[in-house]
Structure 1
Amino acid sequence: MTVDPQAMRDTLRLWPSGVAVVTTALDEERAGMTVSAFTSLCLEPPLIVVSVFKNTRTGSLIAKSGHFGVSILHADQAYIADRFAGRIPLAEGEDRFDGVPLTQAVTGSPLLSEAIAWLDCRLYATYDGVTHWIYIGEVLATYHRETDNAPLIYFDRDYRELQRLPATT
């Protein structure tokens, strides 16, 4: 017995997740996309997992370049998430990265310099996830800023802001 895809979507929309932009570059070509399927895997060696839809330029370029970056967005960066998710139409010849402050990682991946954190990764392993590539990244460098900015959260098909619960006594 298989689960109906819509039932699966309706169930998984109730799982909150952070929002990140996965980026890569090779020569003069760069690509990036918004993801919520990202998690840590291991601390020693430092490994993370991202899931990227197979039919994307970003997924193809990660496979070719052998590296990628993950920029973790803060709550004020929903417009960046929408831009890299393709929800904001681009003018002809415009690039998703245009106007977005960037830092170049050691690997060459462009990282969003205003993100609350980022990870620079070498492609460690690739697995076939039917409709997605499951990329394992070996983390070569990290950055996080000390900030009061809450992370951007995706829940129930919308962006949310994380809020601290009142202390219980």
Structure 2
Amino acid sequence: MSPQHAAAPLATPDEFRAALSQLAAGVALLTVLDRDDLGPGEAAGMTATSFLSVSLEPPLVLVSVREDSRMDELLSRSDLWAVSLLGEEHRTIASRFAMKGRLSDRLLFADTPHQAGPTTGAPLITGALATVECRTEQRIAAGDHTLLIGRVLEALVPAPDARPLLYFRGGYRKLG
């Protein structure tokens, strides 16, 4: 690395956040079924905007989860998870699952229309634009996040004409 590059200051977290807020992102709900030996397991979920396609052959996706979060812990124990791509009508769901100090996942799912994924058992949001069920292929530590690369086991498009929910400049937005 050249000396001029080594001395270059890093962007502050606030500068970085402000710059990336200019990129519109789709909104997804990442879900997992926390299975244990004592019962059927409990659903957990979190709103995510860091979700993307990695490969078509094989079908792989990537999602970013805050390191040391409850979701990171659950996904370290279970390699099966799902993602529901949310539409405009899911704004309340996205907000509720993104809140800090929120209600328990059990209460949130009791009030959220969903069904168990046929492959993973993880909750899939009713009316989602699309859903994918995945098995973790790789976990990568990256700064204060864990990147999960998942092999897509099942992909469905139950609402092909629905309009996406977007996240832009720190808030949820609609197209148009």
- Look up the equivalent residue of 1:29 and give its one-letter code: E
- Distance of aligned partners of 1:101 and 1:88 in 2 relative to their CA distance in 1, 3 Å threshold: farther
Report the TM-score, using the length of structure 2 for normalisation: 0.86
Between Structure 1 and Structure 2, which shows a larger proportion of helix residues?
2
Residue 23 of structure 1 contacts residue 69 of structure 1 at CA under 8 Å; is this kept in 2?
yes
1:67 corresponds in structure 2 to: 80
Q: Equivalent pairs: percent with the same residue? A: 35
Q: Write the deviation string for residues 113-160 of structure 1: whole angstroms up to 9, x where unpaired.
A: 221111000011000012111000100001112443210000011111
1:53 corresponds in structure 2 to: 66
Whole-angstrom distance in 1 between the partners of 2:101 and 2:29: 15
* SS, match of residue 107 in structure 2: coil
Number of aligned residues: 162
- Distance of aligned partners of 1:88 and 1:113 in 2 relative to their CA distance in 1, 3 Å threshold: farther
Give the stretch that moved more between structures: 113-122 or 10-19.
113-122
Whether 1:100 and 2:138 are equivalent positions in the alignment is: no
Q: Write the deviation string for residues 70-89 of structure 1: whole angstroms up to 9, x where unpaired.
A: 00000111100011102684
* SS, match of residue 14 in structure 2: helix
Query: Which has the greater radius of gyration?
Result: 2
In the alignment, structure 2 segments of 5+ residues that lack a partner are: 1-8, 36-40
Instruction: Please show how residues 6-155 of structure 1 align to structure 2 within 5 Å.
Output: 6-27=14-35, 28-86=41-99, 89-90=102-103, 95-105=107-117, 106-155=119-168
1:31 shift after superposition: 1.1
- Look up the equivalent residue of 1:15 and give its one-letter code: L
Whole-angstrom distance in 1 between the partners of 2:98 and 2:33: 17
Q: RMSD between aligned alpha carbons? A: 1.8
In the alignment, structure 1 segments of 5+ residues that lack a partner are: 164-169
- Distance of aligned partners of 1:103 and 1:58 in 2 relative to their CA distance in 1, 3 Å threshold: same
Moved beyond 6 Å, runs of 4+: none
Report the TM-score, using the length of structure 1 for normalisation: 0.89
1:7 shift after superposition: 0.6
1:111 shift after superposition: 1.2
